[in-house]
Amino acid sequence: MSARVVPLIAAAATLVATATALAPMMARAQAGRTLSAPSAFAGIRDPAARSAAMFTEAGKVLQHPRCLNCHPDGDRPTQGDGYPHQPAVQRGADGLGVTTMRCATCHQAANFDAGHVPGNPKWQLAPVAMAWQKRTLGQICEQVKDPARNGGHSLAEIVEHMAKDELVGWAWTPGVGREPAPGTQAAFGSLVKAWADSGAACPTR
């Protein structure tokens, strides 16, 4: 074997060892990126515990930055992993921004990947009553069920919104350089529906 090949083989062995050590970490990261189907919870006998467990699974989406950035705790959206929106835009009376800083000035009907600007025809900030940032998943659960805080909607309408709304759906096609919400909107929708059908119990935390 030539002297030049031996270091190459040693380098390859190091790479394999590194990949092996990283595998469990990557498997854990991957688990956060997928959503279990409602059937995965069939083994939980107590209906309230089963319902709450399905909401906890759906919480991987609800508490993902793609949703939280538009459901902020205050009047300014966040971006990226949750840092304040640059520039310092404000919600305004209609959730569409103030003066020249209207959302649609920059956010078009579709993602503009060349400029790294996300877009959707309905782009605007969620009302303050629908703030999810800095809330526990249990608090978010109580809030989305409560017509006084969810825009006057029935549980069925909220399920429909999560499963079908196009602006919610943007979270799975967020444009280049942005991590999509875990799973698919359809998988998320079926979890939320199974949660509602099983009594819409909330996690205690």
CA 107 – CA 119 distance, rounded (Å) = 5
**DSSP state letter for 180:** P
Asked whether position 124 contacts ligand HEC by CB under 6 A, the answer is yes
Asked whether position 107 contacts ligand HEC by CB under 6 A, the answer is yes
What residue spans of the chain are helical by DSSP H?
Answer: 5-31, 47-62, 65-68, 103-106, 137-145, 155-164, 166-169, 185-197
Give the Cβ contact number of residue 87 at 10 Å. 8
Count CA within 13 A, CB hemisphere, residue 58.
32
Asked whether position 117 contacts ligand HEC by CB under 6 A, the answer is yes
The residues, any chain, with a CB within 8 Å of residue 37's CB and separated by 6 or more, are 187, 190, 191
Q: Provide long-range contacts, Cβ within 8 A and 24+ apart, for 78-85.
A: 78/133, 82/133
Question: Mapping DSSP to helix (H, G, I), strand (E, B) and coil, where does residue 114 land?
Answer: helix
Site string for ligand HEC, 134-153 (x = CB under 6 A): ---------xx-----xx--
Q: How far is the CB of 41 from ligand HEC (least distance, A)?
A: 19
Which one, 37 or 95, has the nearer CB to ligand HEC?
95
Give 84's strand partners: 78
Which of the residues 79 through 98 are near ligand HEC (CB under 6 A)?
79-80, 85, 87, 89, 91, 95, 97
Asked whether position 190 contacts ligand HEC by CB under 6 A, the answer is no
In which residue are the tokens 């515990």 written? 49
Of the candidates 53, 54, 103, 191, which one interacts with ligand HEC according to CB under 6 A? 103
Asked whether position 116 contacts ligand HEC by CB under 6 A, the answer is yes
Q: How far is the CB of 48 from ligand HEC (least distance, A)?
A: 21
Which one, 41 or 132, has the nearer CB to ligand HEC?
132
Q: How far is the CB of 176 from ligand HEC (least distance, A)?
A: 10
Q: How far is the CB of 201 from ligand HEC (least distance, A)?
A: 17
Site residues for ligand HEC per CB under 6 A: 61-62, 65-67, 69-71, 77, 79-80, 85, 87, 89, 91, 95, 97, 101, 103, 105-107, 116-118, 123-127, 130, 143-144, 150-151, 158, 161-162, 167-168, 170-171, 178, 181
